């Protein structure tokens, strides 16, 4: 099989290495030809330090590598998914399968990323969402990892499962692409918020409280928008929430730590030096939850800190002193 990965950040690079390990003819495309040339020379990506890229992996800045591709992986930051889909569109056929691995919601349209790709490719071929607890740094060194390949087209989901699965990368299929994509985008804001707790010096009780109540609000919005409740308890939901809220690999969490320590969001993102999707998602989620009439106190507070300059200390007090509620019934005590 011929596979092409578009987007040479840490994640696109780690996934291209999996496809290569699985014996597929694999291309890794960078939108920056100079960066592609440097990776060819060093066999390393500065965004995935310490991972040697095998000689069989073809690294290029030439889009013509898409000619005859069976599998196309869309792996840019979410803000560049539409322009990347535009670039792949002329090369796709009805037999192609696109796998979307970015985690976010498109700004302004609030579309899921598979919907954005579908729009730009005229829904010519199926788009599978691959998501789960999977830091590129660990996949790159072949640590056992699990993800979900979700698509309404079960054959396409199985095609992606077959392409990626091996003895260190386990892939489950799912028909709930809505839930899988939303879970991946929503958890980034919570990972950032968890980092803020760390930055403020709060410890394990606080983070367990935050993660558990975040699951409740993420699931509430996800279900309202058509996702399945079970998905939010699975790898793309709970699994990814755990890994991003607890790992120092997480760019969202690291940005949050810096904000908790007093940096502005812009300073924090600059210092992290890689894409912090939670910053962008906070805005879309705020709009989506307002439109759907779903209460999301943690995500709303993150939005207020990131976009309205609210002080993090005030936000914590506000969250802790909200009206008294029943945990299961979600009702407020009069």
Ligand X SMILES: O=P(O)(O)OC[C@H](O)CO
Q: Which residues are catalytic?
A: 187
**48: DSSP letter:** G
Q: In this structure, what token pair is assigned to residue 279?
A: 């910053």
Q: CB-wise, 87 or 254, nearer to ligand X?
A: 254
Residues 237-276 contacting ligand X, CB under 6 A:
240, 243-244, 249-252
Q: CB-wise, 151 or 315, nearer to ligand NAD?
A: 151
Residue 329 Cβ vs ligand NAD, minimum distance, rounded to whole Å: 34
Tell whether 187 is in a known binding site: yes
Question: By three-state DSSP, how is residue 3 classified?
Answer: strand
Binding to ligand X by CB under 6 A, coded x per residue (else -) over 80-119, reads -----------------------x----------------
Strands 145-150, 127-131: parallel, antiparallel or unpaired by DSSP?
A: antiparallel
**d(C-alpha 134, C-alpha 240), whole Å:** 7
Binding to ligand NAD by CB under 6 A, coded x per residue (else -) over 15-44, reads ----------------xx------------
Exactly one of 72, 76, 111, 190 binds ligand NAD (CB under 6 A); that residue is: 76
Cα-based distances in Å from 38 to 26, 27, 34, 43, 176? 18, 15, 6, 8, 39
**d(C-alpha 189, C-alpha 284), whole Å:** 11
- Binding of ligand X by 199 (CB under 6 A): no
Exactly one of 87, 112, 135, 220 binds ligand X (CB under 6 A); that residue is: 135
- Number of amino acids touching ligand X (CB under 6 A): 14
Q: Which H/E stretch holds residue 28?
A: strand 25-29
Torsions phi, psi of 243, nearest 5? -65, -40
Q: CB-wise, 37 or 274, nearer to ligand NAD?
A: 274
**C-beta contacts of 288-293 below 8 A and 24+ residues apart:** 288/105, 288/110, 288/221, 288/225, 289/221, 292/221, 292/224, 292/225
- Binding of ligand X by 13 (CB under 6 A): no
Residue 119: which region, alpha, beta or left (left: phi > 0; alpha: psi -120 to 50)?
Answer: alpha
218 binds, among ligand X, ligand NAD, none (CB under 5 to 8 A by kind): none
Residues forming contacts to ligand NAD in the complex (CB under 6 A) are: 7-12, 31-32, 47, 75-78, 80, 83-84, 101-104, 134-136, 274-275, 277
Residues forming contacts to ligand X in the complex (CB under 6 A) are: 103, 133-135, 188, 191, 240, 243-244, 249-252, 277
């Amino acid at each position: 099989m011929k596979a092409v990965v578009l987007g040479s950040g840490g994640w696109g690079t780690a996934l291209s290495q999996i496809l290569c390990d699985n014996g597929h003819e694999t291309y890794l495309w960078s939108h920056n030809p100079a960066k592609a040339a440097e990776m060819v020379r060093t066999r390393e990506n500065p965004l995935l330090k310490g991972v040697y890229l095998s000689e069989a992996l073809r690294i290029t800045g030439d889009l013509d590598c898409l000619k005859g591709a069976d599998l196309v992986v869309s792996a840019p930051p979410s803000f560049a998914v539409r322009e990347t889909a535009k670039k792949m569109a002329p090369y796709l056929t009805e037999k192609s399968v696109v796998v979307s691995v970015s985690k976010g919601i498109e700004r302004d349209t609030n579309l899921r990323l598979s919907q954005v790709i579908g729009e730009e490719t005229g829904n010519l071929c199926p788009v599978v969402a691959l998501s789960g607890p999977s830091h590129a740094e660990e996949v790159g060194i072949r640590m056992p990892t699990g993800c979900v390949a979700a698509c309404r087209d079960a054959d396409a989901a199985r095609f992606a499962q077959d392409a990626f699965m091996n003895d260190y990368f386990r892939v489950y299929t799912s028909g709930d692409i809505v839930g899988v994509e939303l879970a991946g985008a929503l958890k980034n804001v919570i990972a950032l918020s968890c980092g803020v707790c760390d930055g403020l010096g709060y410890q394990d009780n606080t983070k367990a409280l935050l993660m558990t109540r975040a699951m409740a609000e993420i699931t509430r919005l996800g279900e309202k928008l058509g996702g399945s409740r079970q998905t939010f308890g699975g790898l793309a939901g709970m699994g990814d929430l755990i890994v991003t809220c607890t790992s120092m690999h997480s760019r969202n969490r690291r940005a949050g730590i810096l904000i908790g320590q007093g940096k502005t969001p812009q300073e924090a993102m600059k210092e992290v030096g890689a894409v912090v999707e939670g910053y962008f998602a906070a805005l879309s989620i705020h709009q989506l939850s307002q439109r759907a009439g779903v209460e999301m106190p943690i995500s709303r507070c993150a939005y207020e800190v990131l976009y309205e300059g609210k002080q993090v200390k005030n936000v914590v007090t506000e969250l802790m002193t909200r009206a008294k509620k029943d945990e299961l019934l979600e009702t407020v005590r009069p």
